[in-house]
Amino acid sequence: MTMEELQAQVAKLQEQVAALSVRALSEDTGPSGYATSKYSVEEMDALLDKVAAME
3-state secondary structure at position 30: coil
What is the model's pTM? 0.47
SS3 content of the chain, % helix, strand, coil (to 5): 70, 0, 30
> Reduced to 3 states, what is the DSSP secondary structure of residue 13?
helix
Residue 29 is predicted with a pLDDT of: 67
pLDDT reported for residue 39: 92
The per-residue pLDDT for 13 is: 95
CA 10 vs CA 3, 7, 13: distances in Å: 10, 5, 5
Give the model confidence (pLDDT) of 5-50 as tens digits. 999 999 999 999 999 988 887 776 666 777 888 999 999 999 999 9
pLDDT score for 55: 76
Q: What is the DSSP letter of 35?
A: -
